[in-house]
Structure 1
Amino acid sequence: MGTEDRKLQQSASNLEKSLLRLEEALHENHDNRLIVDGTIQRFEFTIELYWKTLKRLLQVEGIVVKTPKETLKEAYQVGWLENEKAWLQMLRDRNETFHTYNEELALQIVENIQEYFPEMKKTFSDLRGKGKL
């Protein structure tokens, strides 16, 4: 197994763990500000791992991408993402939470994360089923 294969395997493992941690956070009571903050942080981390893993997968296919947005668009083009619009909105939400903090926005984004999570989980499962992860 080459270095790139090991890196890809590690990325997949980290992404899977991150999805599990995010799912745990989504089952908590979001009346608690600390839980809201933790859920958002887990979401940010998961989105970061997702785009970097997809970037690595695209490189294996000979497709060079540089930015998270470009990575998601290319992953959609090759059929690895079903809902490009949802993934791009996830990225926008991640950028919103990363650069500013607003309590109302935070609560809205946690609601959005609840809606996004099935797509995130399905995409991971699909990638694994296609032998990509």
Structure 2
Amino acid sequence: MEEDRKLKQSVRNLEKSLLRLEEALNDDHDNSLIVDGTIQRFEFTIEFYWKTLKGLLQAEGIEAKTPKETLKEAFQVGWLENEKAWLQMLRDRNETSHAYNEELALQIVKNIQGYFPEMKQTFFNLREKGKL
């Protein structure tokens, strides 16, 4: 019961973070505060994604401990279409949280713009499959 409640909250958080990320991606990225905010929202979204996927996998009896393991398992069960893109998103998230330089930040925002359709589509696919 508690796990079910946690999973539902995780899904709500994920959905909100996707909406907030989309807002940020529609802003002017010439402003460094917008760039920073977009990256922060991306970090939150990736965090919510892997934790939600981990919970969904757990409900299926599949144990995954790390974000990378979780993404790989989610790909194996057919919940993610592009494993390579998701693993790159994870690498970008890890890079942004350990170091900051403006050139890298702008490149990552560009990457996020490319990732976002995959992130959004994955959410809809999971919902259609009755996982969310």
Assess same fold via TM > 0.5: yes
Deviations 1:107-127 (A, max 9, x none): 000000000000000000000
RMSD: 0.5
Cα distance in 2, alignment partners of residues 12 and 44 from structure 1: 16
1:10 counterpart = 2:9: yes
Which residue of structure 2 lines up, in the alignment, with residue 36 of structure 1? 35
Cα distance in 2, alignment partners of residues 6 and 126 from structure 1: 21
Q: For residue 111 of structure 2, what is the amino acid of its counterpart?
A: N
1:90 counterpart = 2:89: yes
How far has the Cα of 1:7 moved from its partner? 1.1
Which residue of structure 2 lines up, in the alignment, with residue 105 of structure 1? 104
1:69 partner SS? helix
Deviations 1:22-67 (A, max 9, x none): 0000000000000000000000000000000000000001111110
**Where in structure 2 are there 5+ consecutive unaligned residues?**
none
Q: Summarize the alignment of residues 1-133 of structure 1 with structure 2, pairs less than 5 Å apart.
A: 2-133=1-132
How far has the Cα of 1:128 moved from its partner? 0.6
1:55 partner SS? helix
Cα distance in 2, alignment partners of residues 32 and 86 from structure 1: 27
User: How many residues of Structure 1 are paired with residues of Structure 2 in the alignment?
Assistant: 132
Cα distance in 2, alignment partners of residues 132 and 38 from structure 1: 29
TM-score, normalization: structure 1?
A: 0.98
Moved over 6 A (4+): none
Cα distance in 2, alignment partners of residues 7 and 66 from structure 1: 17
TM-score, normalization: structure 2?
A: 0.99
Q: Percent identity?
A: 83
